[in-house]
Structure 1
Amino acid sequence: MNGIAVDTLLTSLGLVAAGFTGAFLLYRLFRWLATLADRSRFQIDGLVLRIVGRPISVLVALASVNYALFRIPEVQAQFGAWSGAQNALLVITGTWIFASLVKAIVREYGLPMAERTDTDVDERVVRLLDLTAVYLIWTGGILIAFREIGIEITAFIASLGIVGLAVALAARTVLSNVLAGVTLTADRNFRVGDRIQVGDYIGDVLEINLHKTVIRTRDNEIVLIPNDVLGKEVIINHMLPEQTTRIEMTIGIAYDADVDQATSILQEILHNSDRIHDDPPPEVNVAALGDNAIVLQILVWIDRPRGKRSVRDTVYRKALSRFAEAGITIPFPQRTLHLAPSAQNVSLLADGSAAS
């Protein structure tokens, strides 16, 4: 078989098979130990075992392959004829192990942490970082391996830099949205489920993607806002620092009405509402003396920003009913016309001409 002794070849194949079998058993052993460690007081032990288990198993398997190859004289001669080939193989082996270790850390540590957050953006960012890190590791390992076997890599690195710059310039808007999305995700003042106001839009945050944020308005419309726009706009979060929010209402009563009685009726209505808080207590103040009415201002605190219109509707309806029972009128705009004497004379002359 191409000058390779059969017994040497069979021995090498047996070493490879034994190495892979040992690597598999070692991997299963690490998983079993990690399961036992999870039940202990310190769960970090199980996490460490799961992270290092796969790279060590890969190392055992690759070590068996390397040993099986280099014990064959013909293979040694081929590697000896190509300067640096053995070093390049060791670099590729180390790259594989390092990339496996990074993936294990991300899978066992990074993703579980991201899954515990309110949004799926953390998971996407972690997966993106994992993919980027693995590509960078393999790119660096391959370049080092090329250098070991005498291939010039300077021009290749320069080409990669030019290509990366061109991609960054072409995708600067996308990158801007992604960076803004990462910033929004890390901001504790902005979460999925919050009711926010951005410009003319008021709605609930449904999703924060890498490039856009989705909100549902009060009219049940879906609005997609680019993340870089949110990074520049003023955002009002109606859910923070807590969901309790204040409502202002106004109601006018006639000038001949009893202000104290109207205030007492309104206070009774407010204190008997399920959604209106007693602490801070509701307030009823005389806000202005209008052209047609005494304007009473009502300030109340409710449990959450959603449903403000329902609270206003309930208060106004009960106020209409109770004021009607108490004889308190809610005036409508009125105008009193005063005719000047000259205008009255003209009116009388016009009436006399018509009579004749």
Structure 2
Amino acid sequence: MDSILYYLAPDEMDPFLLFWGKQALISAVIIGAFYLLSRLAQQLLTKVGTRLCSFTETDLDDRILERVSGPAMLLVNCAGLYLAIRRLPLHDRIGIIASGLLFVVNISILTIIAYRALDELLKAYGARVAGAEMSRQLMPLVEKLCTIFLVVTALIITLKHFNYDILSLVTALGVGSLAIGLAAKDTLANMISGFTLMIDRPFRIGDRITLGAQTGDVMDIGLRSTKIKGLDNTLLIIPNSELCNSNLINMAFPDVRGKGRVNVGIGYECDVARAKEIMVQTALDVAEVLKDPAPEAFFVNFGDSALNLSLFFWVPEYTQVFGAQDKINSVLLKRFQENGINIPYPTRTVIYEKDTNNAPQD
């Protein structure tokens, strides 16, 4: 500033000072106006915004309003200060540095506001839609990815403001991402499959699933693999990409009730109706078997040595199927014996024929 004043003629000093004072006054008015605007916006958010949020059933908008109101007021004040600094006839270097710093501050505040709003949205989605387990595993990673995206976006906007060539940066990021993707394609495939499993939710932690010949309870759903505890207390670790491309049975969906089946064969001379009645009554006498839906017995087919019957029953939880089936089989065998219903076993009759052609001649 001194260097500028030094080269001004004496008769030019007053107009310059007058111009500088006028710009300083305008800048002060801008700062004051934006300060009043921030106070007005604060009052509107406090009264009108809170009243509008009270009409909604969720408290999500209340939490977002509470977290962004403070940075929003600061943003308005910094925006006024930025405009005021740009109007002052400062030295080129001083003006560029001051306005640049204020621009960076404004972008940082905008990033904070976006992050806080997004954080509340992710928390609400994780708690109400995704579930507790998904919130624990997936939401932290999603939040980190969103944070990285916001920071990179703010950095690109800042570099663009200072006339830096961002094309080379974007190109370098693209090439680097391509190289990482090619080098870790299997890991990325499992991670993407992990996202799919967590969002689509074909099974949850604690569900019992059958995958091919393997049956077990889901212990953990990670980003790379899923851990399944087998019925023989072994731990099966399956890559998520394999789970996404395989057919599986979820025994705990749509509810935890389990359906059991008892197959038995009775003799052809036995009374089928009486046998079916005994089977249904036996199932009803077992405590674990549900009365609704009620057990049902069916005459399935004619076997080689028996009439094949099947009993279907339901239990409150699929883990009780084998125990209930054991009790039904034990009681059913006794009642069949008491009612004269026999359970035949396969028999074979072997007939030896004498070969008369090769018999010795007398």
Percent identity over paired residues: 27
The aligned residue for residue 263 of structure 1 is 276
Alignment CA distance shift 1:333-1:90 (3 Å): same
**TM-score by structure 2 length?**
0.71
CA contact (8 A) 2:227 2:235 kept: yes
Which letter does structure 1 place at the counterpart of 2:280? Q
The aligned residue for residue 299 of structure 1 is 312
Which letter does structure 1 place at the counterpart of 2:113? L
Equivalent of 2:100 in 88, 104, 117: 88
- Alignment of 1:223 with 2:236, yes or no, is yes
CA shift at 1:297, angstroms? 2.0
CA shift at 1:270, angstroms? 1.8
Instruction: Specify the SS of the correspondent of 1:210.
Output: coil
The aligned residue for residue 232 of structure 1 is 245
Alignment CA distance shift 1:125-1:312 (3 Å): closer
CA contact (8 A) 1:103 1:130 kept: no
State which drifts further: 204-213 or 117-126.
117-126
- Alignment of 1:55 with 2:71, yes or no, is yes
Equivalent of 2:327 in 299, 308, 314: 314
- Alignment of 1:114 with 2:126, yes or no, is yes
Gaps of 5+ in 1: 1-21, 347-356
- Matched positions, count: 316
CA shift at 1:124, angstroms? 4.3
CA contact (8 A) 1:106 1:126 kept: no
CA shift at 1:99, angstroms? 1.7
The aligned residue for residue 145 of structure 1 is 158
CA contact (8 A) 1:275 1:303 kept: yes
CA shift at 1:272, angstroms? 2.0
Instruction: Specify the SS of the correspondent of 2:226.
Output: strand
Alignment CA distance shift 1:239-1:147 (3 Å): closer
- Alignment of 1:282 with 2:295, yes or no, is yes
Counterparts of residues 170-189 of structure 1 (less than 5 Å)? 170-187=183-200, 189=202
Which letter does structure 1 place at the counterpart of 2:106? G
Alpha-carbon separation, structure 2, partners of 1:266 and 1:294: 14
CA shift at 1:123, angstroms? 4.7
- Alignment of 1:156 with 2:172, yes or no, is no
CA shift at 1:301, angstroms? 3.1
Alpha-carbon separation, structure 2, partners of 1:264 and 1:129: 58
Alpha-carbon separation, structure 1, partners of 2:231 and 2:150: 48
CA shift at 1:285, angstroms? 2.8
Q: Which runs of 4+ in 1 moved over 4 A?
A: 39-42, 60-73
Which letter does structure 2 place at the counterpart of 1:227? N
Alpha-carbon separation, structure 1, partners of 2:295 and 2:160: 77
Deviations 1:39-68 (A, max 9, x none): 966435522322313423653786799799
Deviations 1:260-304 (A, max 9, x none): 433332221022233334444433233333333332222223333
Alpha-carbon separation, structure 1, partners of 2:242 and 2:314: 32
Alignment CA distance shift 1:171-1:342 (3 Å): closer
Which letter does structure 1 place at the counterpart of 2:326? D
Which letter does structure 1 place at the counterpart of 2:115? K
Which letter does structure 2 place at the counterpart of 1:253? I
Alpha-carbon separation, structure 1, partners of 2:102 and 2:221: 43
Alpha-carbon separation, structure 2, partners of 1:101 and 1:123: 24
Alignment CA distance shift 1:194-1:70 (3 Å): same
Alpha-carbon separation, structure 1, partners of 2:87 and 2:133: 51
Alpha-carbon separation, structure 1, partners of 2:273 and 2:152: 81
Alpha-carbon separation, structure 2, partners of 1:211 and 1:154: 33
Instruction: Specify the SS of the correspondent of 1:274.
Output: coil
Instruction: Specify the SS of the correspondent of 2:209.
Output: strand
State which drifts further: 114-123 or 311-320.
114-123
Gaps of 5+ in 2: 1-34
